[in-house]
Amino acid sequence: MLLTVRKISRSFGGFELKNVSFDVQQGQYFVLLGASGVGKSVLLEIIAGLTHPDDGRIFLNGTNITSEKIQKRKIGMVFQSYTLFPHMKVYDNIAYPLRTGYTKHQIPKRVAKLAEDFGVTGLLKRKPQTLSGGESQRVSLARAVASEPRCLLLDEPISSLDAKSRPRMRALLRKINAKGQTIIHVTHDYIEAASLGTHIAVMEGGTIAQTGTVDDIFQHPKSEFIARFIGIRNFFKGNLEKPHLQAGLKQFRTDGLAFSVLTDSHAGNGFVCIRNEDVIIHNPSSTAEPTIAGNNFEGTIVDIVRFGPGIEVIINIGTNNLKTQKTANVNPLEIAALITAESAKALNLHCGKKVCISFKASSVKYVEE
């Protein structure tokens, strides 16, 4: 294990970190995902030695570094505000960590190589104040990598960049990680986390709510907060009933509707989430026959919005009768479906149109409360 964080606690200015523990292995791209103000940045500062914890311990390669001086830790940090030295040119910023460990002749070569790797060769003679956000971030990364850290900490490295610079920065971060650099990346953006991380720790209320691989987190969110935070749009609270359908299939009731759910969980209160890409839309005239294991509903389109590269269609299934679920209710219940623009056109979708939706029982994730 490269980095072990054990029961770190720190209270300050109205919020606190409570018993934060996680492990990071060599070469992992570990993302700390959480809302603003949850203490992610402070946790990074504690790992880097910039802030001391009230309690807990940090181990790097098995050595307790909780009280180790910042300059002895060999942990690089890229701050959200870049923290480039304003009185030094880009060259001197990148060369700063090289003054120890490299000879005078080696430094220019090393800076040139780093500048090339990070796409800042043309900026070496410029002052940080003249750089754009993306350029400053790349210089800051180059400088941190120049210090050859055992672990590289990144505090929201992408969120402050403009949309044009983001893909380049993501590609750069993947490249650094692919070379074996262990990275801990703090972000509030679940898309950023999913697109970069090999492992994710979701922070909630000053503690780690769930840790796992990207698939673990996105396929099996442990709580309502995590499900919502990682962008699952279709989220319904309700009650899981005792099985009376096929083996493993159970009924989940919410707001008068009932979903078929494939789960081993016991009956009780909980919530279900359905990813919007698992919801299929078809016209009512479609010949597709619903199955007993499936979830098939009729509804009315209430909104159509662009969602990343696709189209998200919001359908109210609460005010319509059901094809297979016989529960009658008139409460509005909206469900989001993600489809391609071509499908939206082919289906001739528009607000107010009646459509049918379906999703498999196995795509409904049930989480006990």
Tokens 């299929």 belong to: 280
Give the per-residue contact string, 96-125, with another protein (x = CB under 8 A; - = no): xx-xx-------------------------
Site for another protein in 124-143 (CB under 8 A): 127, 129, 143
> Of 50, 107, 302, 304, which one interacts with another protein (CB under 8 A)?
50
Give the per-residue contact string, 10-49, with another protein (x = CB under 8 A; - = no): --------------------------------------xx
Give the per-residue contact string, 142-171, with another protein (x = CB under 8 A; - = no): -xx-xx------------------------
Stretch that binds another protein, among 82-90, 165-173, 266-274, 312-320 (CB under 8 A): 82-90
Nearer to another protein, 102 or 225 (CB): 102
Nearer to another protein, 30 or 79 (CB): 79
Nearest of 77, 43, 71 to residue 58 by alpha carbon: 43
Instruction: Work out how close the CB of 83 gets to another protein at its nearest, in angstroms, rounded to a whole number.
Output: 4
> Of 62, 69, 163, 308, which one interacts with another protein (CB under 8 A)?
69
Nearer to another protein, 96 or 225 (CB): 96
- Number of Cβ atoms within 10 Å of the Cβ of 356: 21
Contact indicator for 344, 304 with CB cutoff of 8 Å: yes
Main-chain dihedrals φ then ψ at residue 208, nearest 5 degrees: -85, 120
Nearer to another protein, 7 or 99 (CB): 99
Distance CA 117, CA 262 (A): 49
Residue 61 interacts with another protein (CB under 8 A)?
no
Q: Which residues contact 63 (CB under 8 A, 6 or more apart)?
A: none
Residue 76 interacts with another protein (CB under 8 A)?
yes
Please report which residue ranges of the chain form alpha helices under DSSP H: 40-48, 90-95, 106-117, 133-146, 166-178, 190-196, 214-219, 224-229, 341-346
Instruction: Work out how close the CB of 71 gets to another protein at its nearest, in angstroms, rounded to a whole number.
Output: 5
Distance CA 193, CA 97 (A): 29
Distance CA 247, CA 262 (A): 9
Instruction: Work out how close the CB of 24 gets to another protein at its nearest, in angstroms, rounded to a whole number.
Output: 17
Nearest of 289, 218, 214, 294 to residue 258 by alpha carbon: 294
Nearer to another protein, 75 or 111 (CB): 75
Instruction: Work out how close the CB of 52 gets to another protein at its nearest, in angstroms, rounded to a whole number.
Output: 12
Q: Which residues contact 320 (CB under 8 A, 6 or more apart)?
A: 297, 298, 299, 300, 354
User: Maximum CA pair distance of the chain?
Assistant: 80
Instruction: Work out how close the CB of 133 gets to another protein at its nearest, in angstroms, rounded to a whole number.
Output: 17
Alpha carbon of residue 335 to chain centroid: 22
Residue 75 interacts with another protein (CB under 8 A)?
yes
**Binding-site size, another protein (CB under 8 A):** 27
Q: Which residues contact 28 (CB under 8 A, 6 or more apart)?
A: 2, 182, 183, 198, 199
Distance CA 173, CA 270 (A): 38
Residue 91 interacts with another protein (CB under 8 A)?
no
Instruction: Work out how close the CB of 204 gets to another protein at its nearest, in angstroms, rounded to a whole number.
Output: 27
Instruction: Work out how close the CB of 311 gets to another protein at its nearest, in angstroms, rounded to a whole number.
Output: 43
Residue 73 interacts with another protein (CB under 8 A)?
yes
- Find the distance separating the first CA and the last CA of the chain, reported in whole Å: 33
How many angstroms separate the Cα of 13 from the Cα of each of 16, 80, 139?
8, 20, 32
Nearer to another protein, 74 or 253 (CB): 74
The contact set with another protein (CB under 8 A) reads 48-50, 69-71, 73-77, 79, 81, 83, 85-87, 96-97, 99-100, 127, 129, 143-144, 146-147
